[in-house]
Structure 1
Amino acid sequence: MTLRLADPTERDDLGAFTARVVRLDQTAAIRLTASAGRVSAWARTPFDVLVTRSVAGELDPSGAVSAHASSLLTALAVDRAEAVDTGPPAVWTDELPPVQGWERVDDVPADELDGLADRGLALAREHAGPMGPPASLLDQTVLTVSPQSAGRPVTVPMRVLFAMSGMGFLGAGPDGGDAGGPRVRVSAAGSWVRLDARYGAVVRRRIVSLPLIGAT
């Protein structure tokens, strides 16, 4: 599969995203999907959270491909060929979220999320075991975002902020935010929640508790 990017800036953006993925997990795979002149890169982080970045470009032939992140990084950052060979296919088993149906819940100051992530990292270093931070810390709800109109609030667990921090997304929210600083957009679609910052997004399926059906 061949990847063609619109210009060097788009190539560098995808290269920076891929480098961060490799830094978190050298064995990671990246899923590339193409639509309407844009290529979206997806990766799973060690925090059990998906991260994504969209750049202008196309895949030839069109469709989707899974690549080894380390091989893709070499092609983007070292080979510098105009047409990027995505290399041998990698195994990808994760479900991707829907493309349509996202509803904005609210915008959150990036500095607020950055501070929460820093405090979480301090706790993780204090309580980490042989397998890393405990699941109880990763799954702890650290932020609840309520829509301005009627709707269900969205909870954000610590693992989402760890992924954002590890990918370098925090501190740079979408353009056009308030004068007080960059903001991160929180959106929801069905059982999925998404946090968009300037340099990428973090996506995770929410765990919805099912009602218990009692015996009659």
Structure 2
Amino acid sequence: MAAHGLTGVPDAGAFLARLTRLDRSLPVRLRSGAAGRTALWARLPWGVLVTRDVAGSGPGDATVSAADLLAVLASGGDELPARRDAEWRWALPPARVEMVESVASTELSRLASAAAGTLREVTAGGLAGRAVGQRAVRDALLDHVALLVTPAGGASVEVPQRLVQAVSRMGFLGPADVDSPGTRVCVAGRWVGLSAPYGVAWLQPVQNLTVMSIGDHPKG
């Protein structure tokens, strides 16, 4: 039986516990890297990829159930749960990453809390006296540009609330009462990311698609 190869059990457990609180059915991908480290990858329910490096040589490249792997780690086992490689259907960001700017983790925590408060208020009281569905409000908030970073001599980088919620809900910002290092806004190709003290969240903006009728298509 294959082994999961993880020795940083507390760090891996923290990542998996947060993940399964959001959705117990989510898969997690383990990718072995250099220097005896393994990257854990997952896709959150709102379309953001999150990753955390933990100690251990890992199994190579394997996708398993996050809930199953958490149960193995909690029991002190070393076996790799049943592989579910076919369930991983998402591309990963390019390896070449450019750091754009650093943002205080406390500021990101404030933005995440403000959005959560807005969701509660609008869901409970409506908007301008009209009832609004929670899902509609949630989607609008997630698409809202929480930060606009404009580096000197470079193009502006939009950081949507989806990324802010990801680093907050996954615990990547660290304890609220601890002065954590800043979180870096980064880009990798078309991907935008937040590299926080305890993990990274990535989002690939939706590409603009040209829609044409079948009759106008060059191949009919």
TM-score by shorter chain over 0.5:
yes
How do 1:138-153 residues align onto structure 2 when only pairs under 5 Å count?
Answer: 138-147=142-151, 149-153=152-156
Q: Is the 8 A contact 1:72 1:87 kept in 2?
A: no
Give the equivalent residue in structure 1 for 2:38: 39
SS in 2 for 1:195: strand
| Structure with the higher strand share, 1 or 2 | 1
Distance in 2 between the 1:201 and 1:189 partners?
12
Are residues 133 and 73 of structure 1, via their aligned partners in 2, closer, same or farther at CA, if it must alter by over 3 Å?
Answer: farther
Q: Is the 8 A contact 2:163 2:193 kept in 1?
A: no
% identical aligned pairs:
39
What's the CA shift for 1:116?
0.8
What's the CA shift for 1:159?
1.4
SS in 2 for 1:164: helix
Structure 2: any 5+ residue segments left out of the alignment? 124-132, 212-220
- Which ranges of 4 or more aligned residues in structure 1 deviate by more than 4 Å? 208-212
How do 1:114-129 residues align onto structure 2 when only pairs under 5 Å count?
Answer: 114-128=109-123, 129=133
Pick from 62, 65, 68: which aligns with 1:65? 62
Aligned-partner residue type, residue 123 of structure 1: T
- Higher mean alpha-carbon deviation, 162-171 vs 47-56, is at 162-171
How do 1:30-179 residues align onto structure 2 when only pairs under 5 Å count?
Answer: 30-36=28-34, 37-60=36-59, 62=60, 64-77=61-74, 79-81=75-77, 83-89=78-84, 91-99=87-95, 101-128=96-123, 129=133, 131=135, 133-147=137-151, 149-171=152-174
Aligned-partner residue type, residue 193 of structure 2: R
Distance in 2 between the 1:118 and 1:191 partners?
27
| Structure with the higher helix share, 1 or 2 | 2
After superposition, the C-alpha distances for 1:107-129 in whole angstroms (9 at most, x for unaligned) are 00011111111110111223343
Are residues 104 and 11 of structure 1, via their aligned partners in 2, closer, same or farther at CA, if it must alter by over 3 Å?
Answer: same
- Higher mean alpha-carbon deviation, 116-125 vs 13-22, is at 116-125
Give the alignment's TM-score, normalised by structure 1. Answer: 0.82
Give the equivalent residue in structure 2 for 1:193: 192
What's the CA shift for 1:144?
0.8
What's the CA shift for 1:164?
1.6
Are residues 32 and 132 of structure 1, via their aligned partners in 2, closer, same or farther at CA, if it must alter by over 3 Å?
Answer: farther
Give the equivalent residue in structure 1 for 2:25: 27
What's the CA shift for 1:158?
1.0
What's the CA shift for 1:59?
2.9
Distance in 2 between the 1:85 and 1:59 partners?
10
SS in 1 for 2:166: helix
What's the CA shift for 1:88?
3.7
Are residues 133 and 50 of structure 1, via their aligned partners in 2, closer, same or farther at CA, if it must alter by over 3 Å?
Answer: farther
Which has the larger Rg? 2
Aligned residues: 197
Give the alignment's TM-score, normalised by structure 2. Answer: 0.81
After superposition, the C-alpha distances for 1:8-53 in whole angstroms (9 at most, x for unaligned) are xx11101110010001111111011112122101111122111110
